[in-house]
Structure 1
Amino acid sequence: MLFTHHPRYADLTPAQYAEGLAWLRRMGMVTVTGRPVVEIGESELMETGPAGTVPRVRWSRAAEEAREAIGAAGEQALLRLLRQGGVPHVRHVAAESDAYGYDIEAARSISERAHLEVKSTTDPTRLVIHLTRHEYEIMTADAEWWLAAVLVGGDGNALNVATVDRGWLGSAVPGDRAEHGRWESARLEVPAHAITPGLAMETWRVLPDLLLPSRPVWALQLSPLESV
C-alpha cells in the first residue's frame, strides 16, 4: 500500500522495489531481514568481497554524527589558533552558510587573505578527505581558497595543521564522463607529497610555523630542527 499510494515512492512500481531489495540481498549489502550490513566506525573502510561483487560500504547514523563532530572540532581548533596567533581578521563563515565553499576567512592584510576550507580527522596514519563539487568549483574560481587539514586530539585541540596542494586536488578529483552525469562528492586519500606542514599559501603564511602544532603524521617528516 505504501509503495502504491505514497507520492515519494511513485517513481517505481512495487515489483521494481522488490527486485531492488532482492539485488541488495544478493550483493550481501542487506540481511535477509532487510537490515543494512555491519555499521561503520571512524575508519571509513570498505570491505571488498569476491571479484565482481559490490563492496560493502558500511554506514551508520552514529558514525555520521561522529564525523560531523570531528569536523566542527577541527574548525573550532583552527579558529582558536588563528585568534591566539593574532591574525587581525578571522571570520567563521561556515557558521553563517554553506554557500561560501570554505569555512574560515583569515587575513593579515588586504594583500594577504586566505579562504580556508577545513578538513578534520583523528587518524594520524593517513589523511582522507571528502571534497564536494561546490568546494572544488570555488577552489578553481578563487585564488585565495586553500584546504587546511587539521588532526584533532581527544581534547578537541589541534595536534597538527597542514595545507593540501591545490594542484594535486585539481588532478585527483574525478572527471565528468557523460553529459547528463556529474560527480558531486569525492573521497580522496592525500599523499605525503601533496601535504605541506603549516598554513602555507603561495607566498606567505597565515601563521608562523612555530605557532602551530606539528607532529610527524600522515607520512610527513619533521625537519632536524623541529625534531629536537
Structure 2
Amino acid sequence: MLFPLTNSMRRAVLRWLSLLRVCGVPRAQVLLTHHPRYADLTPMQYAEALAWLRRVGMVTGNTASEAALSAVPLVKRSEGDEEERRKVGEAGERALLRLLGGHRLPHVRHVAAESDAYGYDIEAAWSHARPFHLEVKSTTDPTRLVVHLTRHECDVMMADRDWCLAAVLVGVEGEALSVVTVDTRWLMSAVPADRAKEGRWESARLLVPVSAMSPGLSIGARALLRREQLPNRPVWGFAGSTALLDA
C-alpha cells in the first residue's frame, strides 16, 4: 500500500513502476539517476523506493509484479486524442484571427493555411516593416498551460527575432477566453538538448510556468494586443490573468 509513503517517495515508487512496464531494473535505474526529467529526486530516494518495492513484494528480481503494474495506468495516445488536439488547435487559430481582425490590424495572414513549412501559424503587423510571426498553441484547460513544440518550430524560433508563441484558451463556443505570450528565452532554456549526433528530439511537451507568461501579445516593447484593453480573469495560475471576452 502506498499511503504510508511521503510525497517524494510516492513519486519515486510510481516512476519505478511506470518504467518497469517497458524495461528492467538496471535500465530503469540508469534513467532515474541520470535523466534530467527525474532530477527532482536524488539517487538515494530512488534507491529507497526500490528497496521499499522489494520489501512489499511489488518488485522481484528485475521486474515488477503484474499486480503492482496494474496500479499504474498505461497511457496510450489514440487517433481520437490526436484528432481532438487538432480541432482545438484549429479553433485557437481561428479565434486569434478573429481577435486580431477585431482590433483592425491592417496586416493579418494565416500562413498555416498555406503550408506547415513556415514554423509559425499567423503573420500579423501594424505595418509591413516589422511583422509578428505567431506560433499558436491552443488548449481548453484553464488550470495549466501545456504546449507541444516541434523541432521545426524550435529551429525557426532560434533564428527569427520576430517569432513568438501565443497561447490561447479556447471556450466552448470556439472563442478566445485568454491569450498570453510565452517568453521565448524560457522556451529556449526548456527545450531538450541533443546529447549525441546519432539522435535528436523532434517534439517536446512543455509545462509553462506562470513566470514565463505575459498577458496579451508582445515582443519586447512591441505589442499587437494591448493589455489594458483586456479584462482580467484567473487562469493558468494567474491571480488575475488577461481574459478575452466576446472575441
TM-score (norm 2): 0.68
Native 8 Å contact 2:107 2:128 kept in 1? no
Question: Which residue in 1 is equivalent to 2:218?
Answer: 200
Question: 5+ residue gaps in structure 2?
Answer: 1-13, 23-72, 242-247
Number of equivalences:
178
Question: Which residue in 1 is equivalent to 2:86?
Answer: 68
- Of 49, 68, 72, 2:17 maps to 49
Q: Is residue 82 from structure 1 mapped to residue 50 from structure 2 by the alignment?
A: no
Structure 1 residues 51 and 83: CA distance shift in structure 2, 3 A: closer
Question: Which residue in 2 is equivalent to 1:172?
Answer: 190
What is the 5 A alignment of 1:24-35?
none
Paired AA for residue 52 in structure 1: L
Question: Which residue in 1 is equivalent to 2:112?
Answer: 94
Q: Kindly report structure 1 stretches of 4+ aligned residues shifted beyond 3 Å.
A: 46-55, 210-214
Q: Over the residues paired in the alignment, what is the CA RMSD in angstroms?
A: 2.0
Native 8 Å contact 1:112 1:204 kept in 2? no
SS in 2 for 1:200: strand
Paired AA for residue 143 in structure 2: T
Counterpart Cα distance in 2 of 1:51 and 1:141: 36
Q: How far did residue 213 of structure 1 move?
A: 5.9
Native 8 Å contact 1:90 1:104 kept in 2? yes
- Of 130, 134, 137, 2:148 maps to 130
Question: 5+ residue gaps in structure 1?
Answer: 1-45, 224-228
Question: Which residue in 2 is equivalent to 1:114?
Answer: 132
Question: Which residue in 1 is equivalent to 2:123?
Answer: 105
Counterpart Cα distance in 1 of 2:15 and 2:86: 23
Q: How far did residue 145 of structure 1 move?
A: 0.2
Q: How far did residue 58 of structure 1 move?
A: 2.0
Native 8 Å contact 1:81 1:212 kept in 2? no
Structure 1 residues 104 and 50: CA distance shift in structure 2, 3 A: closer
TM-score (norm 1): 0.73
Larger proportion of helix: 2
What is the 5 A alignment of 1:136-155?
136-155=154-173
Question: Which residue in 1 is equivalent to 2:176?
Answer: 158
Q: How far did residue 207 of structure 1 move?
A: 1.8
Identity level (%): 60
Counterpart Cα distance in 2 of 1:80 and 1:197: 18
Native 8 Å contact 1:124 1:217 kept in 2? yes
Counterpart Cα distance in 1 of 2:110 and 2:16: 39
Structure 1 residues 214 and 198: CA distance shift in structure 2, 3 A: farther
Q: Is residue 219 from structure 1 mapped to residue 187 from structure 2 by the alignment?
A: no
Structure 1 residues 97 and 191: CA distance shift in structure 2, 3 A: same
Deviations 1:20-52 (A, max 9, x none): xxxxxxxxxxxxxxxxxxxxxxxxxx9983563
SS in 2 for 1:205: strand
